[in-house]
A and B are shown apart, each in its own frame.
Chain A
Amino acid sequence: MHELGMARSIAAIVEEHARGRPIKGVRVAIGPRACIERGALAFCWDIVTDKTVLAGATLGFIDAEGDTFTVRDFEIREEA
């Protein structure tokens, strides 16, 4: 279901907060009642971020309570 739209929302939130800095990884907190299929979300994440400033950023999952569904944090990639 709807994971592509969710992946877009996550990308939009991270892009807004990243303010142009390169992103290494993003972690989302997902509760058991959030109705989110992680495999589908990971699949959609790669599609959504392809050829964008978030390309190559990993998507990690953190177990949370109830219907939690939030972007927990993201990591900025160090420029060489």
Chain B
Amino acid sequence: MCGVCGCADPKSEVSMTNVDTGATQLLRASGQSLADAHAFAHAQGLPHDYLHDDQHAHSHDHHHAHDHSHYGHSHDHPHDHAHSHDHPHAHDHSHHGHSHDHDHVLEQRPAGNHVALEAAILGKNDAIAARNRGWFEGRGVLALNFVSSPGSGKTALLEATIKALKDQVAISVIEGDQMTTNDADRIRAAGAPAIQVNTGAGCHLEADMVAEAARALNPTPGSLLLIENVGNLVCPAMFDLGEAMKIAVISTTEGEDKPLKYPHMFRAVGIVIINKMDLAPHVGFDEAACRANIATVNPKAEIIEVSARTGANFGAWTARLQSLLAEAKARF
């Protein structure tokens, strides 16, 4: 339908399956976007307080369109500017040198016809993500969003992580895939409760899906919530889920230039895990080039090399995870 990746086929449904109980719940009906999710939540009788607030946040008229974009966490306060008045400027309060961005469009056109808005298009997702983040932080839950291309070994990494740490810390998992509960089944078999979100044709998880899944999982204070995003190095970079950190997984079989090909994603992460290091000698993996490419797009990214399959250097990853968890608990 989209003609680019088909990611938002109107026939697509988004659902969530608890693999412990087998219960499946529809999160979005066919043809519905996040903008419609409020009405849908009512129709389904779903818990929806996080959606509800948002619907009432912008009912007042205001003379200025304020851009609260702070590069990362944009707050969506689309003040309605619809009534006519005699103040012809759209003030753009960009935090970059206080640029006064008005291109005199309003002056060039008949008065009263042009309505300045400056509404963040991802504002609804960002608002729900901010609520998720508060919910996680309020409970001392460390939520991590794992992103990678399909087949890099995200699920294998989570399985090995659960097996290594499950006696020391409570872990729950949200799995995102277009179809099947295969990954959530694997996580459950590894010993952690898991919710599978099926995005249908959707190519990424969005904050409302994580909110519903987290509500169902009800992670205990001080626990780890591992979110495995849909395998895709493009779209998940744009959608804040409320996680404490995005972590990219890249595997030695993919080629060292992935960070250069998909810079948005690698720029968005705090840690890059290079997986399948056991295969490195067999596929001619150039470790130095891979590290240099990661550093080119994201000089601050930490790099941890492991093999989830053999367990090689896996202690470096679990130790880092435990230090992140300790930081989250310290803030709690």
Chain A positions near chain B (C-beta within 8 angstroms) = 1-6, 8-10, 12-14, 17-19, 24, 28-29, 33-35, 37, 40, 43-44, 47, 62, 65-78
Contact = CB atoms under 8 A, between A and B. Distances in A.
B33 A9 contact: yes
Given A2-B5, A4-B8, A71-B119, 18 more contacts: A1-B234, A2-B7, A5-B7, A8-B35, A9-B33, A13-B35, A13-B78, A13-B119, A43-B4, A62-B103, A70-B119, A71-B117, A72-B118, A73-B90, A73-B115, A73-B116, A74-B114, A74-B117
A71 B90 CA distance: 12
B87 interface: no
Contacts of A2: 2, 5, 7-8, 203-204, 235, 238
B122 A73 contact: no
B7 A66 contact: no
Contact of B67 (A34, A70, A78): A70
B5 A78 contact: no
A76 B113 contact: yes
Given A13-B121, A65-B94, A70-B67, A35 B33 contact: no
Q: Interface residues of B toward A: which range? A: 35 or more
Q: Which one of B82, B96, B117, B122 has the greatest number of beta carbons of chain A within 10 Å?
A: B117
B118 A69 contact: no
A76 to B, nearest CB: 5
B237 A40 contact: no
Contacts of B264: 33, 35
B292 interface: no
A78 B319 CA distance: 64
Contact of B8 (A5, A43, A74): A5
B120 interface: yes
B29 to A, nearest CB: 14
Given A33-B264, A76-B113, A70 B4 contact: no
Contact of A71 (B80, B99, B118, B202): B118
B45 interface: no
B284 interface: no
A8 B8 contact: yes
A3 B78 CA distance: 21
B110 A78 contact: yes
Contacts of A9: 33-35, 121-122, 124
Given A1-B7, A8-B8, A35 B115 contact: no
A32 to B, nearest CB: 10
B15 interface: no
